[in-house]
Amino acid sequence: MEFSLVHTISPGGTYDAQIKVNMTKGSTPSQATGSWAFTWTDDTHPAANLELKVSNNDADKISINAELLSIVTIGHKKGSQVEIALKDDQWSPFILVGDEDHLAGNSPSTAWMATSLDQIGCLTLQQMTIPGSHDAGMSEINFPAGGTPTNSQTQSDGIYNQLIAGIRYFDIRPTISNAHFFTGHYTGQFGANGQSIADVISDINAYLALPQSELIILELSHTSMTDEQYQPFNDAQWNSLLFQLYSDLNHLYTGHGDDILTKIPLRDFIKDGPAVVVVTNERDTNWLRDHKFLNRGFYSSKGNSNQFPTYNSYSDTNITETMRKDQYNKLVKQNSSPDNKDQLHVLSWTLTQDKGDIFNDAHSIRVLANLANGHLAEVGSDIANTGPISWATKTKPPNIILIDNVSRDLFLVSMTLGLTRFYNKPCS
């Protein structure tokens, strides 16, 4: 096994290390070991605070563990070990952010907002970076119209496990099929439905009953009546959908009914408990007011009454390098001259199948997502060819990082919480 680590990392610094393991016949990868000790670079800490260890307990798994010798991070006591997922040809980040009195890192608490509220509660959504799920309800296939798991399923886990994984922004695309509300993923009349809206509601309620004082944002867009020529929802159908959410979804946030949500501090949302915000992209605030949904947990991101402005432009490519260059250039441009001064920048870290991919299991949406997600933590000097950690050294970080195939390892939370805390002053 070949490896190397830097001796010193300055505040805000990153370092990329490559680990090469000989797995060929006759090699002895089970004997591969290595360790590096780190300490704060001051006179008060002569002993190591942290030790990174590489080991191989079996022939198929190389692991990295961070042993917290004399430090504590959110969710991990002094003396505990934090496993760093190590995957072939992918970036496996170890993140440590904060000060000695309150550190966050890998494998944070699933209730990451509540456990970090003293540090980030004063920040508005426009100052934060939040993990998001693209086509969030598409963890299963129901009533397909040509859609298969290869070309229509974007997620492996349902909403509940995505919440456990720390996702807080959900891209929900409602459909009507067989006279019931579902989530969907369609291109024209081609695609499929995913979880039912009833199951989405049940998943959110179950998570918040743990209990968890977190902010959850659902943005509803791309509606489709698959029973009626795939037309967008009419007023009556929107009314029925929002009434179902109003009747069954717990902890709807009812404050700031006429305000722009991106300017509201996180603490305002969750200081008294969990909060669920439902944003509709297809009906404005006047419609919400006329139909008695305003000030009842529902907000609009439509037109001049936009209460949740976002910039969200996907790259429409199946090539990771093309996607990230495009997303980097859009981030730089929007930070310099935003379309809306109150907007959240959505980093669409997603790959899009081309026609040759849609029936090829080896190029399924989730396979492409795993490929892209494996580079999300990439750092280096060639900024446009890295990811948001390095990008943030040159421009403001994005506000939402949107991905397909959310994993349960909370790595996206580690990254987004790290960006949020490092690029803002602590609240207390």
How does DSSP classify residue 50?
Answer: E
**How confident is the model at residue 1, as a pLDDT?**
47
User: Which segments of 106-264 are extended strands (E)?
Assistant: 130-133, 142-145, 169-172, 174-177, 180-187, 190-196, 215-220, 224-225
Q: How many CA atoms lie within 13 A of 400 on its CB side?
A: 29
Beta bridge partners of 172: 220
Distances (CA, A) of 105 to 74, 81, 252: 7, 12, 30
Whole-angstrom distance, CA of residue 166 vs CA of residue 410: 6
pLDDT tens, position by position, 330-342: 999 999 999 999 9
**How confident is the model at residue 354, as a pLDDT?**
96
**Residue whose C-alpha is closest to residue 399's, from 303, 334, 305, 329:** 334
What lies within 8 Å, CB to CB, of 425 at 6+ separation is none
**How confident is the model at residue 101, as a pLDDT?**
76
Whole-angstrom distance, CA of residue 92 vs CA of residue 61: 14
Whole-angstrom distance, CA of residue 62 vs CA of residue 78: 24
Contact of 279 with 307, CB cutoff 8 Å: yes
Beta bridge partners of 124: 265
Contact of 133 with 282, CB cutoff 8 Å: no
Superfamily of domain 113-422: Phosphatidylinositol (PI) phosphodiesterase (3.20.20.190)
pLDDT tens, position by position, 272-321: 999 999 999 999 999 999 999 999 999 999 988 899 999 999 999 999 99
**How confident is the model at residue 49, as a pLDDT?**
76
**How confident is the model at residue 51, as a pLDDT?**
79
Least confident of 71-75, 172-176, 253-257, 294-298: 71-75
For the chain, what is the mean pLDDT? 90
Examine the pLDDT at 387 and tell me if it is beyond 60. Answer: yes
DSSP codes joined into one string, 193-219 = EEEEHHHHHHHHHHHHTTT---EEEEE
Is residue 242 within a helix (H) or strand (E), and if so which, with residue range?
helix 235-248
Contact of 103 with 72, CB cutoff 8 Å: yes
Whole-angstrom distance, CA of residue 12 vs CA of residue 389: 10
Instruction: With both helix axes pointing from N to C terminus, report the angle between 235-248 and 197-208 in degrees, rounded to the nearest 10.
Output: 30
pLDDT bin (cut points 50, 70, 90) of residue 171 is very high
Burial of 275 per CB tally in 10 Å (0-12, 13-18, 19+): buried
pLDDT tens, position by position, 5-35: 666 777 777 777 777 666 676 666 555 566 7
Share of the chain above pLDDT 70, in %: 90
Beta bridge partners of 371: none
Least confident of 2-6, 117-121, 291-295, 351-355: 2-6
pLDDT bin (cut points 50, 70, 90) of residue 108 is confident
**How confident is the model at residue 221, as a pLDDT?**
98
Q: Beta strands 81-84 and 298-300: pairing type?
A: unpaired
Is residue 416 within a helix (H) or strand (E), and if so which, with residue range?
helix 411-422
**Residue whose C-alpha is closest to residue 152's, from 328, 402, 377, 357:** 357
3-state secondary structure of 334: helix
Whole-angstrom distance, CA of residue 83 vs CA of residue 94: 9
3-state secondary structure of 388: helix
Whole-angstrom distance, CA of residue 225 vs CA of residue 217: 23
Domains of the chain, residue spans:
29-107, 113-422
Whole-angstrom distance, CA of residue 381 vs CA of residue 391: 10
C-alpha triplet 157, 162, 168: angle, nearest 5°:
150
**Residue whose C-alpha is closest to residue 406's, from 153, 193, 117:** 153
The encoded tokens of residue 205 equal: 């309620």
pLDDT bin (cut points 50, 70, 90) of residue 270 is very high
Mean pLDDT (whole number) for 97-114 = 86
Torsion of Cα atoms, 334 then 335 then 341 then 345, to 10°: 70
In Å, how far from its chain's centre is CA 74? 19
Mean pLDDT (whole number) for 396-425 = 94
Examine the pLDDT at 396 and tell me if it is beyond 50. Answer: yes
